[in-house]
Amino acid sequence: MLKKLFRFLILVGFSFGGIFAQGAYLGYGLGLQVNLGDLGGTITKDGLDNSLGTQKLIVPENTIDVVHRSGLVTKQTNGAMTGLILSILYENQSTNTFWRVGAEYTRKILGGHTRAQFVGYPYIDIKWDFNSLVVPFYWGLRAGVGESSAVYGGLGVNYFRGGWSLHGTSDGATPCLASSSLCGLGPNGAIDSDGNGSRDSFTSIDELYKEAIFSEQVVFDVSGIGFNFMLGIESSLQSKNKLYFEIEYLLDAALDNAPVRSLGTIKQLASTGSISYPIVIGGVRYKFGIKTPM
């Protein structure tokens, strides 16, 4: 879809023609990246199973919403993470081409916090975080639209560094002790072989809590080289500055291994004391800002 839009914008630009300023520019901008870490599905609808596939170590928000509507628990569900992007760039423009190098820092500002309370006790309290630094290089084509605007698109490579983290508690044991209808809403050691919740499958309260997850903290941090492309439009002001808006897509991901802390996590998911997971840094970004001539 973006490739077709890129071709369309270039064709439109060349059909209009137009002469626009050339030279070097320093740019500053802000932006948003949606669905940070590609974790939206995990947070909202999929969760994360234990190694046997019989319990949810991470309970998805749609499951919590169903229980909340039954009146048994209260909830706070914020969905997928969204990040704020701070960017700076140097761009050299010629008649119909350009090249650019920049730096972009992203930090989570919205989403990524799931909380469920049973009689005032937060038995699920999971917080996600994300940050990244990307240094992209672009080469691309430009086309004038009228006398003061241009459309452009480019491809390139980037260096990336960053990752996401998760910390909090998923204690399915406490609500299970209170009501058998709440067994299975989080790791608790009270799941029958057929996957149904039961309080008859443990011999003591201590056994029930062995698989609950308390104060877990997992931090992933990766780096590498990825690919990127973007489409943009800019408009010149009387001050010779240029306002721009861009849609960017980054193909950045790597596998990382991180230690786990909670006994429940070790028992159910990571018997070696660590977990490997594919970490996605890239995704769709929407950016806007200003370019000033140098």
pLDDT score recorded for residue 193: 43
* Strands in the chain per DSSP E: 23-34, 48-49, 56-58, 74-77, 82-93, 97-110, 113-118, 121-145, 149-170, 213-219, 222-236, 242-251, 253-259, 274-280, 283-293
| Per-residue pLDDT tens over the stretch 84-143 | 999 999 999 998 999 999 999 999 999 999 999 998 899 999 999 999 999 999 999 999
Structure-token pair, residue 101: 């190098």
Element housing 62 (H / E): helix 61-69
Write down the pLDDT at residue 189.
59
As a whole number of angstroms, the distance between CA 135 and CA 102 comes to 6
Q: What was the pLDDT predicted at 5?
A: 46
HSE of 261 in the Cβ direction (CA atoms, 13 Å)? 10
Nearest to 279, CA basis, from 250, 254, 244: 254
Residue 197: pLDDT over 60: no
Q: Burial code of 185-214, b = ≥16 C-beta within 10 A, e = fewer?
A: bbbbbbbeeeeebeeebbeeeeebbbbbbe
Least confident of 130-134, 201-205, 280-284: 201-205
Identify the pLDDT of residue 209: 80
Neighbours of 256 (CB within 10 A): 17
> What whole-number distance in Å separates Cα of residue 132 and Cα of residue 287?
16
pLDDT beyond 60 at 32: yes
Alpha-carbon span 278 to 5, nearest angstrom: 30
Confidence check: pLDDT of 191 > 60: no
Q: How high is the pLDDT of residue 214?
A: 92
Q: What is the pLDDT of residue 244?
A: 98
pLDDT of residue 183: 78
pLDDT in tens, 47-59: 998 887 778 889 9
The band of 7, judged by pLDDT with boundaries at 50, 70 and 90, is low
The torsion angles phi and psi of 10, rounded to 5 degrees, stand at: -65, -45
Percentage of the residues of the chain whose pLDDT score is greater than 70: 87
Decide if 118 contacts 110 (C-beta within 8 A): no
Least confident stretch, 16-20, 178-182, 249-253: 16-20
Residue 206: per-residue pLDDT: 72
pLDDT score at 1? 52
How far is it, in rounded angstroms, from Cα 42 to Cα 282? 17
Evaluate whether 122 touches 99 at the Cβ level (below 8 Å).
no
pLDDT in tens, 218-256: 999 999 999 999 999 999 999 999 999 999 999 999 999
Provide the pLDDT for residue 222: 98
The DSSP secondary-structure symbol of 187 reads -
Q: What percent of the chain has pLDDT over 90?
A: 66
Q: Ranked by mean pLDDT, which of 15-29, 64-78, 200-214 comes out on top?
A: 64-78
Q: Is a pLDDT exceeding 90 seen at residue 9? A: no
The per-residue pLDDT for 10 is: 45
Task: Identify whether the C-beta of residue 246 lies closer than 8 Å to the C-beta of residue 195.
Answer: no
Q: Give CA–CA dist 182/3, Å, rounded.
A: 49
pLDDT value, residue 176: 83
Q: For 104, list phi and psi in degrees, rounded to 5.
A: -135, 125
Pairwise CA distance, residues 194 & 6, whole Å:
52
pLDDT at 190 (0 to 100): 58
Looking at domain 2-293, which CATH architecture does it have?
Beta Barrel (2.40)
Average predicted confidence (pLDDT) for the chain: 87
- Mean pLDDT over residues 210-218, rounded? 90
